[in-house]
Structure 1
Amino acid sequence: MPEIVATTPGLFPLPDWAKDELSDLKGHQKTDLISGDEGEAITDAYERAREEVVSLQTDAGLDRISEGQLRWDDMLAHPLAVHDSVETRGIVRYYDNNNFYREPVVTDDLTADGDVATELDAAAELVDSGLQAVLPGPYSLADLATDEHYGDEAAFLDAVADFLVGEVEQFPDVETLFLLEPSLVESPPEDGTDERASEAIDAVANAVDAEVVTHTYWGPIEEKTYAHLMDADVDAIGFDLVADHDKNVYNVQEYGTKDAVALGVVDGQNTRVESPETIRDRVDWFEAQTNTAYDTVYATTNTETFYLPVNKFEDKIRSLANAATLEAPEADQ
């Protein structure tokens, strides 16, 4: 049986008190909340919120603890949205849902600024073990942004990858890195770009001394893109079994996968809470359908969880943690 590791892809909902407090503070300060310009009161509120979500995960029994990305108002676009070489312009729909982010327009060289690393440093003070970093994958981050500096799609993707590499190199010790790549599903790369996307993911993965999971969601990856992703030196690829379990199973049956796998077995956008038994059944089903004995299965929500009410978020991570400790069913004699 594989080791089942209960975790999440991060981007948590803000605690209710923090929503109210930060809304009031931001209204008075009228800031874009760019790193370093937030003000002491806003910084303090985020620190208290971080402490709360770390404690929630620890109390629930998750195996990997995320910083929570509570400052990421622009969701996966955040690392660029707060960069000095980026202008944030109009409001853009975040994939095909009712969330929006500020369009990050790159106007100068992208250099590592340590924004995400600073958040992880703060989380490391709160976590004894099992710290997990979360980043947008290079393909998704480039897809969410607009380039007005590099002038070439390939050069821009390379620049975004280099930026993320520089960020990763400033991380404290982490056990796992989740690279979130929904654009591989939502905006599939064309011929040539799919290979470059894999190489960009590979570059980021090789910059960190941790287990790296490239997590995809909102559907299955196209076959050619998946085949190229398999070339990336990552430890696990993530599959959204909530959105489409059959096609994801087909990709693994046809092209194989890594020795470890991440499975989106809990709905990160729906308030219905899955039982630990249901979660474990989905993990066992995937293993049986793919006829593979994995070293590790990362059991996770399929998407980010900022869509959820805080109480449902708590219930879902507790179910994930409990599912990981369930005894496997006895084999028929």
Structure 2
Amino acid sequence: MTELVATTPGLFPLPDWAKEELSDLKGHQKGDLIGGDEGADIVAAYDRARGEAVDDQHDAGLDRVVEGQLRWDDMLAHPLAVHEGVETRGIVRYYDNNNFYRDPQIRGELDFSGDVAAELDSTAELTDDPLQAVLPGPYSLSDLATDDFYGTDEDLLAGVSEFLAGEVEAFPDHETLFLLEPSLVESPPGDGLDERVPEAISEVAAATDADVVVHTYWGALDEKVYAHLMDAEVEALGFDVVAGDRDDTVYNVTEYGTTSDVALGLVDGQNTRVESPETVHERVEWFTEQVPSQTFDTVYLTSNTELFYLPVSKYREKLETLAAATAQEVEA
């Protein structure tokens, strides 16, 4: 019997009160908000918002609780944007999602930061629910950076993976770790670098005893990228079954196999239409039926993308949908 686990890739929308309050507070604090340098009022506002995010997940009945990443103004690039060795420069658009962020330019070695670990420590104090950590995957983080230190794409990827592994080692106890890798779909690595990606991901995964999920989204992976990704030493791969051509994803899975656990992006993280639990469960069954030779121990039910793009009311409804969809069982 397959276990269904309701969770999310994090990066939640800020409550309206927090947007207004933080906009005002940050307008009075000059300079970049490097990790740990925020004023006391800003810290307090984020603490309150974090508490609401934890309560939202608990009230919805999710099986894993994330921190919410409400401080991540630069989204997936946040671990770089708050690093002392990185200069955050002008506004850029990372992906075709109509959102714009600052460009992180790496100026020095990516040594230990501890910024995300501190967020998770604060979250662990708020809940007894199983904790899930969220990080950008090493390829996506290196893809979003402007490198002015490491020199080559291979050295940059190695430096980023070493940095992320060091950050993970400082995390409090957590059940799962989601590594978000949309760049594997949107900006796939070329020949040579694609062979380095599973090694980089495995290095980060080895830094934790938790189950590691590499979650990809905004479409299907290129066949060659997927074949290499299967070499990564992780418990689960994540697939977007909302956006792009699902048949390409099914082809990859049937041709090259997959992990015994999978994460499925089943609700649309960028569309305000709220799916029903029945629709979500039907999508789980559709996927498992496409690969009848594969037995899944665990299926993580999640949104295909971050939920940052949604109004707060809709994001909360989608949390409830994911949790309710686990009430039924799936034979696999």
TM-score bracket, shorter-length normalisation? over 0.9
Residue aligning to 2:33: 33
Aligned to 2:308: 306
- Given residue 221 of structure 1, which amino acid in structure 2 is its aligned partner? L
Q: Deviations over 1:264-302 (max 9, x none)?
A: 010000000000000000001100111122000000000
Give me the TM-score of the superposition, normalised by structure 1: 0.97
Say if 2:319 is the partner of 1:317: yes
Structure 1 unaligned regions, length at least 5: none
Q: Is the 8 A contact 1:135 1:180 kept in 2?
A: yes
- Indicate yes or no: 2:82 matched with 1:72: no
Residue 15 of structure 2 corresponds to 15
Q: Deviations over 1:6-30 (max 9, x none)?
A: 0000000001111111111111223
**Offset of residue 327 of structure 1:** 4.8
User: Which one-letter code corresponds to 1:192 in the other structure?
Assistant: G
CA distance in 1, matches of 2:57, 2:94: 26
Q: Is 1:265–1:300's contact at 8 Å kept on the other side of the alignment?
A: yes
Distance in 2, Cα, partners of 1:212 & 1:36? 28
User: Quick check: 1:203 aligned with 2:200?
Assistant: no
TM-score (norm 2): 0.97
What is residue 128 of structure 2 aligned with on the other side?
A: 128
Q: 2 CA distance for matches of 1:129 and 1:28?
A: 36
One-letter amino acid of the counterpart of residue 138, structure 1: P
Shift of 1:34: 1.6
Change (3 A) 1:328 1:261: closer
What SS does the aligned partner of 1:258 have? Answer: coil
Per the alignment, residue 255 of structure 1 pairs with 256
Partners of 1:23 and 1:168 in 2: CA distance: 30
Deviation by residue 1:154-202 (Cα, 9 ceiling, x = unmatched): 1111000000010000000000000000000001111111110111001
CA distance in 2, matches of 1:84, 1:328: 47
Give the aligned partner of residue 62 of structure 1: 62
User: Which digits, 9 at most, give the CA deviation of each residue in 1:118-177, with x for residues without a partner?
Assistant: 000000111213100000000000000011111121111100000001000000000000
2:295 corresponds in structure 1 to 293
Count of matched residue pairs: 330
Deviation of 1:247 after TM superposition, in Å, equals 1.1
2:147 maps to what in 1? 147
SS in 2 for 1:29: coil
SS in 2 for 1:278: helix
Alpha-carbon contact 2:74-2:81 (below 8 Å) kept: yes
Q: How much does 1:224 deviate?
A: 0.8
Distance 2:36 2:205 in 1: 28
Say which is worse superposed, 128-137 or 20-29, in terms of deviation. Answer: 20-29
Q: Do 1:105 and 1:148's aligned partners in 2 also have CA atoms closer than 8 Å?
A: yes
Aligned residue for 2:179? 179
> What residue number does 1:137 align with?
137
Q: Supply the distance in 1 between the matched residues of 2:98 and 2:56 (Cα, whole angstroms).
A: 27
Bigger Cα displacement from structure 2, 125-134 vs 268-277 = 125-134
Supply the RMSD in Å over aligned alpha carbons.
Answer: 1.2
Runs of 5+ unmatched residues, structure 2: none
1:268 corresponds to which residue? 269
Of all paired residues, the percent bearing the same amino acid is: 69
Conservation of the 8 A alpha-carbon contact between 2:4 and 2:329: no
Contact 2:2 2:330 in 1 (8 A): no
Letter in 2 for 1:103: D
Q: Is the Cα–Cα contact under 8 Å of residues 14 and 312 in structure 2 kept in the other structure? A: yes
Match of 2:227 in 1: 227
Q: Deviations over 1:31-57 (max 9, x none)?
A: 422212210000000000000000000
Aligned letter for 2:259?
Answer: K
Amino acid at match of 2:279: T
1:38-117 to structure 2, matched below 5 A, reads 38-117=38-117
Secondary structure class of the residue paired with 2:70: coil
Which of residues 316, 326, 332 is equivalent to 2:328? Answer: 326
